[in-house]
Chains A and B, each alone.
Chain A
């Protein structure tokens, strides 16, 4: 662990989802950008509270899907009619009705890969070592803890003011996470 004097951020724990949500909107109002809330399950309306833009994942998936479709059709048409055309049951070489199932399967397959990898890409995972884990309490975030962390990387960040704000928002516990 490197010793930068600048901490990673200030972590505050809240009693329940409701308080966390209020805190989140307040922190947003206070002009912070680089902050995040941590909870054992996704909380309704937290995105609005934090003012997050909708996820871009959909587009990634769409892209993959299209590739799958074109790839599937191209593969079948080329192999069956150009690469080695064969007379099969008196059917035409380009027998599109028969190409549907495989093309469909490929669309789904690629799209799923898109969704899967896209999600981790957008979430910057895998990231096994995370300064956040320097906190001992944070592990409750996967159990029954509700946290909010204002990160030092935020231009408006100052340890004092952040702690101040969070205390006022009714945090049950506040700590500074070393980077």
Chain B
């Protein structure tokens, strides 16, 4: 990369003896060759799920929030749980693209495109829930500061409003970031696809990119800045999401440790989800050379680290609860572990704290199957984390008289399942029609991309 971005020296980020052309071919061929059968099957299933979700949403809006299992103490349950869960997953993408970029982690190039796409679709799923969880969705535009004949404005003291701004910004910025990264590769596609129509389409979105250095210069700058902006953003978004709870007064919600704890959790689940998707698609598309076992190991290390952070947060919560000498706080945490929701709590602990410990062992870190299984286990665990926080705190708060137990209805469940339809539909379309790896960036980290490589013979090729 240009003067201000020298990557941390890391040999053989790309396995196999690839040159520029072969890489181009490897990746740009995917959208060009015949659509494989499995894709149609997967796409069909996703569409069915999507249809289910839409049906549930219509049913909800037609009848009212009552079709969910909510009750008087428990005003939020699966809706907000799913929201936080999806947003959390949405964190990996921008994190990989932005933070790893700033830290010059060359290996990110193999997976960032992929992870960013996942981010955008995950955030779309997340955004759905705050929108449909309101009682009168037809008035939801009131949360935007629009001038109106009532002369009323939203309440900027409300964490929920902060959330709206944060998530909206996050979605927008992630999308811009993703698109900027795509432009040179769209140009590559434009120059390789055969069909007239495809040429027109790719050409249009490539915006006439030439690959001229005068363009590269501004491009690099823009990418830098966006990365610089996205980094605090990605940290702030889940911080603000955690404010929804931390700013409240409910024991189990009103916790200062939430921001870092939520961010760690988000990265944790995000990486897990990236792994899940990556392990599948690298196999299906034979990209083992680009998304190598080294990548998987590196990500497993991050999962291990964040997993430990999350575990630490869990224990810290208990300590602070005891240390605060605040009886309601104490009760709520003991109650989580022993009370009516103990089953959920221990599921969470097993999945989030115990499971990642496998990754202390290098053999496990590099074991694809195990990684795949654990990545799924972790996402289950992280869903339960949010469930435990949201529901168990509300179910047994200050006044014992108003305690109540939450039981989901089929609408709760199907709506959640349905969001996978939404997510996968978009993701499959992405895999099918867009270069799923940042071609230009991969080329940039090849040894032969560095002029020095040619100066002193073959020496740099293998050192």
Contact = CB atoms under 8 A, between A and B. Distances in A.
Chains A, B in direct contact (C-beta < 8 Å): yes
Interface of A: 16-19, 21, 24, 36-48, 50, 52, 55, 57-58, 61, 75-76, 79-80, 83-84, 86, 88-89, 91, 95, 98-99, 101-102, 104-106, 108-109, 111-113, 115-116, 118-120, 122-123, 125-130, 132, 138-144
Nearest to A78: B153
A40 B187 CA distance: 10
B226 interface: yes
Interface stretch (B117-125, B160-168, B355-363): B160-168
A147 B10 CA distance: 28
Contacts of A98: 156-157
B27 to A, nearest CB: 11
6 contacts: A18-B455, A45-B2, A57-B218, A83-B151, A112-B176, A112-B226
B153 A119 contact: no
Given A40-B439, A42-B1, A128-B208, 18 more contacts: A16-B448, A18-B455, A45-B3, A48-B3, A57-B218, A80-B155, A86-B155, A88-B155, A89-B157, A104-B232, A104-B236, A108-B233, A112-B177, A112-B229, A118-B222, A123-B215, A128-B207, A142-B209
A38 B207 contact: no
Given A40-B443, A127-B208, A130-B210, A101 B222 contact: no
Contact of A128 (B192, B203, B211): B203
Nearest to A21: B451
B210 A47 contact: no
B233 A42 contact: no
A44 to B, nearest CB: 6
A101 B166 contact: yes
A127 B208 CA distance: 5
Interface residues of B, number: 74
Contact of A123 (B24, B168, B219): B219
A125 B207 contact: yes
A154 to B, nearest CB: 14
Contact of A101 (B24, B217, B225, B236): B236
Given A42-B1, A79-B156, A115 B225 contact: yes
B156 A143 contact: no
Contact of A129 (B177, B208, B229): B208
A29 to B, nearest CB: 17
A101 B188 contact: no
A104 B232 CA distance: 10
Contacts of B191: 139-140, 142-143
Q: Which 8 A-B pairs have the closest CB atoms?
A: A144-B20, A119-B222, A126-B207, A18-B454, A79-B153, A139-B191, A101-B162, A42-B216
Given A41-B440, A42-B219, A112-B172, A144 B229 contact: no
A141 to B, nearest CB: 4
Contacts of B229: 108, 111-112, 115
Contact of A44 (B1, B161, B211, B454): B1
Main secondary structure on B side of the interface with A: helix
A130 to B, nearest CB: 6
Contact of B451 (A45, A47, A143): A45
B165 A142 contact: no
A16 B447 CA distance: 12
A116 B337 CA distance: 48
Given A45-B451, A57-B221, A143-B188, A50 B213 contact: yes
Nearest to B450: A44
Contacts of A47: 2-3, 213, 217
A76 B214 CA distance: 41
Contacts of B208: 125-130
B8 interface: no
Given A105-B165, A115-B229, A123 B214 contact: yes
A17 B354 CA distance: 49
A147 B190 CA distance: 18
A43 B213 contact: yes
A38 to B, nearest CB: 5
A125 B156 contact: no
Contact of A125 (B177, B215, B441, B450): B215
Given A79-B153, A112-B229, A43 B2 contact: yes
Contacts of A127: 207-208
Contact of A57 (B168, B222, B449): B222
Given A38-B210, A40-B211, A44-B3, A109 B172 contact: yes
Contact of B454 (A17, A36, A144): A17
A130 B190 CA distance: 14
Interface string B372-397: 00000000000000000000000000
